[in-house]
Amino acid sequence: MDVDECIKEWEDLIVDYKRLESVNKQYLTKLEEVGELQGACMKELQHQRYRMSIITGTLKRLEKKRVPKDERVSNLEKEIMKRKAMLHEIEATLPKQNSLYLKIILGNVNVSILNKNDKFKYKDEYEKFKLILSAIAFVLAVANLYIDFRPLQLILIFLLVWYYCTLTIRESILKVNGSRIKGWWRLHHFISTVVAGVLLIWPQNEPWNEFRHTFMWFIAYISVVQYMQFRYQSGVLYRLKALGARHNMDITIEGFHSWMWRGLSYLLPFLFGGYVFQLYIAYTLYHLSYHPEATWQIPYLAALFLVLHCCNMYTILKTLHRKTKGGLKLSYKLRAIAYRLSNEFAILDQKWRQNKPENKTE
Ligand code: COA
């Protein structure tokens, strides 16, 4: 190319640039429109929820006054339930504010995932992340059982600090995106970070040498339990996805229960085993705290393990009670409906796109 050709190329490029500018302008206008539409959706959503709360409040009052419940009331309740599911679905498509913890760590960056498939992928990735890290922890714990090498112990403990810290961030992102993970499980991971941090600064003395093996066995054990949890959680996740894909699936709520929580009874004994192990560790540490060489870390760790044991036991028993008593019935039924409906919407949307006039002319 000579200079003239370069200038000609440049002039051609100016025309292309004008096109890029105009496309970018359109894009910015649409972005602005999206922001406005999101705001309008949020307002309408609040409005729906407010009016629905008045209706449900009135229905409850009527029930308390023992006004006989006729078919109209049952239908209305069903409709309210469906609407709640739909509102939940609509809400999932709108951006959400970060929690305080995420604001502190990440700043005001937007972590809302607005697409259902991406949400599913994120949760799936989170479960796989836990699995991989558990496998590494298992290998390191077993190695530490056979090799007495301080750097290897520190690598494992440091890995635990990083792992639990990362979990707290990922779980906060999941929470922002509509996960119903209970506060305790998140707090559990915060406390576990503290536990691992304290272990990291526990000096290598006689009490540590006495405790080390028990701790490594514990890590190996919970890594195996983590694998079982992974199998269970992935099962639940894929069944939920399948639920959305099976449109005319007519399952009874009882059938839904046993189908949805398949594998839980298999997992439970191992979870309880873990909690008993935590109690045993708390007890061992309590005894070690009377050792002449004991440092301040030991009683603190004993107290933390006791807290973990008690709160884990309490939360799991509460979860089981809810699952068997059916408190979750409604919420899962809502999810079932929501998944089904949102899927139908996706299909309708797809059909609509396929039948769009411009597609027909092509
Ligand atoms: N960690 C992370 N997320 C959890 C969780 C945990 N321990 N327990 C439940 N969740 C999530 C679920 O994935 C679900 O998420 P979603 O809303 O995004 O779908 C949500 O919280 C609600 O779950 P829920 O229906 O209450 O329970 P579940 O059937 O999914 O799981 C248990 C029930 C008992 C299996 C589960 O809570 C568990 O494994 N707990 C034990 C954890 C533990 O003690 N670990 C240490 C072992 S020593």
Q: Which residue's alpha carbon is nearest to atom 18 within ligand 1?
A: 179
Q: Which residue's alpha carbon is nearest to atom 11 within ligand 1?
A: 181
| Nearest ligand 1 atom to alpha carbon 225 | 47
pLDDT the model gives residue 250: 46
| Nearest ligand 1 atom to alpha carbon 332 | 25
Q: Which residue's alpha carbon is nearest to atom 21 within ligand 1?
A: 181
pLDDT higher than 80, residue 242: no
With bands split at pLDDT 50, 70 and 90, how would you rate the model's confidence at 347?
A: low
**Domain residue extents for the chain:** 3-94, 103-342
- Pocket test residue of 179, 215, 218, 226 for ligand 1, highest count of atoms within 8 A of CB: 179
User: Is ligand 1 within 6 A of the CB of residue 260?
Assistant: no
pLDDT higher than 60, residue 246: no
Q: Which residue's alpha carbon is nearest to atom 41 within ligand 1?
A: 271
Q: Give the pLDDT confidence of 4-46 residue by residue, as tens digits.
A: 999 999 999 999 999 999 999 999 999 999 999 999 999 999 9
User: Is ligand 1 within 6 A of the CB of residue 222?
Assistant: yes
User: Is ligand 1 within 6 A of the CB of residue 306?
Assistant: no
pLDDT the model gives residue 188: 96
Mean pLDDT of 141-161: 96
CA of 247 to the centre of ligand 1 (A): 27
Q: Which residue's alpha carbon is nearest to atom 19 within ligand 1?
A: 179
pLDDT the model gives residue 361: 41
User: Is ligand 1 within 6 A of the CB of residue 191?
Assistant: no
- Pocket test residue of 221, 226, 229, 304 for ligand 1, highest count of atoms within 8 A of CB: 229
CA of 292 to the centre of ligand 1 (A): 41
pLDDT the model gives residue 54: 96
User: Is ligand 1 within 6 A of the CB of residue 271?
Assistant: yes
Q: Give the pLDDT confidence of 182-241 residue by residue, as tens digits.
A: 899 999 999 999 999 999 999 989 999 999 999 999 999 999 999 999 999 888 878 777
Q: Give the pLDDT confidence of 273-332 residue by residue, as tens digits.
A: 999 999 999 999 999 999 999 999 999 999 999 999 999 999 999 988 877 765 455 555
Region of residue 230 (left: phi > 0; alpha: psi -120 to 50; beta: else): alpha
CB 78 within 8 A of CB 72: no
